[in-house]
Structure 1
């Protein structure tokens, strides 16, 4: 796995890109709240970031085919970092929304390219571990940068966080220069006879995409409002504990995402840990809602963070591998785009919609609604497991086609026993 060309620079670029994102993810909403803005606007700062992220991700596969991974990723890293300095101009609503939107453009292109590049560079037998290792670097980045952003904001002020986020993104740009200069594989249009019995691509990726979206919506609420919610429970050490909880979520996600990839490689196909991961995520966000609603000790949130983060990490890896497994190799960039759109759209919707819920019925209500959404995603996965048991997931899958042919099965003939006279 480590010998694949460009794999290590890609991982470092992932670390830096998500580090820049994580530094500002809880800080921008918190800065908006401190400036006197409503919870709805605070959530909208993350929501518009994710909206431009998703819009960019739609067009990224085409750019990867025409321009190539290297130039797209370098330009995206610059776009992620430089607009962070725009927040130095003030905390007015236009500032929060405009520069969040510009940063989202860079983040959208970078996330699609990174995930697709792993599938381009890595042999199939190592793909589960490689995507799991991608999650490890992502998780370490979140563990370090989520609490660091909050710590810097509370000790030396918000401007330092903005500068740090820009600097870390530039590290990603430098590492992207060392990535092989390759382009995404051209899209293959199969012949009509090859499409007989093959499910449309959107059906193959819909359910894993919804699984990611359901959990990322809760993650949007957790990352945006958990620090503020913990401050209400414990005003003295709330900021520190809130940052610690975000680190716990990132660590659990990192460990179990890699473990899920190892299991997928051993089985030769993904899916074994998807439903357990969704159950864990549901239990975690539901426990968060109960702790905040009942005023229990904030240390119960440690267990909630482990459950939610671990389940989220499992679902991330299983969903990405499932999309890679179900679609042809020539469409890995589309699979990466769909996965990232599901992740980022869910995060944006969660921070915006559940932020509006929090403004009406408090943070506990927002997390409770998040738990219901995760449960709906779980039901979708169970239904897909039952209904789609015999779905053909690959073009030119001869074995699957033969199973559908109405041919009589040969009967085994019993060997005649010789008589005593023979």
Structure 2
């Protein structure tokens, strides 16, 4: 797999770009709070970032068809990094939200393009491992850069962290430039679909909605965890809480990284992309509820690390399972649409969670927000269970052999 031309460079570019994102994910809300801003504004920086991300993701498949993967990925990495310098102007509401939105545009295009590019680049027999390796690179970037940004701001200043984020974004752009010049083959395959003898395709949303929502239920809580876990830990340990909060986020990223790759290997061996989904959802519920109880009871930071690790492992499995389910349910030439849907629901959930669940934070009492977040995850189990039952009767196209035989049996 690693010998495939462009695969290694793609992973390096992804790590650099996600490093630029991870540096500022917990740092920017903290910078707003340190400057005297409200928790609502702190959460809105993530919310606006994700809103711009989702808005861009809707149009990214079109951009990929028009310009190809490499130019779109290079431009998006630049947009993810360069606007970080704008945060050096200050933390007034318009400044914090404007440059968060600009960075969100780059992040939106990048997240769709990189997953679709990997699916186009590798043979089908390596798809599970390839998406798992992508998850490892993203998780490693989060594990390293989430605490690094907080450490840089603690040792030097927020401005130094903003400069470092810009540098990594530009480096990711440079790594994207020599990638193979691939474009989605949608035009050819769409013509085949419209042929007179081609069977009618089932609506895409009937096939991918439940996997998409399974991602959203966990990413909503991840939006809360990534934005406010450092602040929650700081309320327990005011002295070194910011750095310890970064370590907690690193634990979440590390467990997600490992579990996402393991889920990919299991899917390749079993040939079934969603066998671990429901166990992972139950694990995610338990991990976040553990955090809620720990914050309410005032447990030590290291006890909370157990809940963070369980949630991270569950989140990693769900990410890979949902993406592979979408790739399996849609034709191969629609991988960019599958990637777009996955990323839209992932990032919309992250933004929604950082804003909606933040409303439940009362002063320095973060436990209610985490408790509700765990219940959101639990609600996904019912959807996934029904989808697993209905999956035995699901078809991806009408008027194929399976549906014709079913009609004959009714005669």
TM bucket normalised to smaller: over 0.9
* Alpha-carbon distance in 2 for matches of 1:45, 1:388: 39
Q: What's the offset of the Cα at 1:195?
A: 4.3
For the 8 Å contact 2:273–2:321, the answer to whether it is kept is: yes
C-alpha distance 394-265 of structure 1, shift in aligned 2 (>3 A): farther
* Aligned pair partner of 1:275 in 263, 268, 278: 278
For the 8 Å contact 2:232–2:364, the answer to whether it is kept is: no
Give the structure 2 partner of residue 382 of structure 1.
Answer: 385
Q: What's the offset of the Cα at 1:360?
A: 6.9
Q: Is 1:147 aligned with 2:156?
A: no
* Alpha-carbon distance in 2 for matches of 1:257, 1:54: 23
Greater Rg by CA: 1
SS of corresponding position for 1:4: coil
* Alpha-carbon distance in 2 for matches of 1:281, 1:397: 38
RMSD: 1.7
For the 8 Å contact 2:25–2:46, the answer to whether it is kept is: yes
Give the structure 2 partner of residue 412 of structure 1.
Answer: none
For the 8 Å contact 2:151–2:243, the answer to whether it is kept is: yes
Give the TM-score taking structure 2 as reference length. 0.95
Give the structure 2 partner of residue 36 of structure 1.
Answer: 36
* Aligned pair partner of 1:208 in 208, 211, 216: 211
Q: What's the offset of the Cα at 1:405?
A: 4.9
* Aligned pair partner of 1:314 in 314, 317, 341: 317
* Aligned pair partner of 1:404 in 399, 403, 406: 406
Give the structure 2 partner of residue 330 of structure 1.
Answer: 333
C-alpha distance 297-392 of structure 1, shift in aligned 2 (>3 A): same
Q: What's the offset of the Cα at 1:331?
A: 0.6
Q: Deviations over 1:320-348 (max 9, x none)?
A: 00000000111100000000111111111
For the 8 Å contact 2:64–2:113, the answer to whether it is kept is: yes
For the 8 Å contact 2:79–2:106, the answer to whether it is kept is: yes
* Alpha-carbon distance in 2 for matches of 1:195, 1:212: 30
* Alpha-carbon distance in 2 for matches of 1:101, 1:356: 21
Q: What's the offset of the Cα at 1:32?
A: 0.6
Counting only pairs closer than 5 Å after superposition, residues 211-360 of structure 1 correspond to structure 2 as: 211-359=214-362
Q: Which runs of 5+ in 1 are unaligned?
A: 409-422
Structure 1 segments of 4+ aligned residues over 4 angstroms from their partners: 191-196, 394-398
* Alpha-carbon distance in 2 for matches of 1:361, 1:233: 9
Give the TM-score taking structure 1 as reference length. 0.93
Q: Which runs of 5+ in 2 are unaligned?
A: none
Q: Deviations over 1:59-90 (max 9, x none)?
A: 00011001111111111111111100000111
Q: What's the offset of the Cα at 1:269?
A: 2.6
Q: What's the offset of the Cα at 1:258?
A: 0.4
For the 8 Å contact 1:328–1:395, the answer to whether it is kept is: no
For the 8 Å contact 2:202–2:397, the answer to whether it is kept is: no
Q: What's the offset of the Cα at 1:236?
A: 2.0
SS of corresponding position for 1:309: helix
